Amino acid sequence: MPAHATTGCSIRHSPLLAQRGNKHEELETVLTSNLQRATRLHHSILQKAFTGELTS
């Protein structure tokens, strides 16, 4: 892979880009997990609402 024109460092071997990539993957995992949890909670609330379990 060619070196970056201004710094001369290889993009493939850039520790900063690798670190950002890892953080991106971590964030994506957390967001996906939280979205799945929110979806399950939403379905649960709807189910309780339609079966009359949310009324006092």
> How does pLDDT run along the chain (56 residues), one tens digit per residue?
455 555 555 556 678 777 888 899 999 999 999 999 999 999 999 999 999 998 76
Joined tokens for residue 43:
């379905």
Question: DSSP secondary-structure letter at 50?
Answer: H
Q: Which residue has the tokens 């379990």?
A: 53
pLDDT in the model for residue 1: 46
**Domain assignments of the chain as residue spans, ordered by start:** 14-56
Joined tokens for residue 2:
């060619």
* Chain center to CA of 14: 23
Distance CA(14)–CA(44), nearest Å, equals 45
pLDDT in the model for residue 5: 56
pLDDT in the model for residue 12: 63
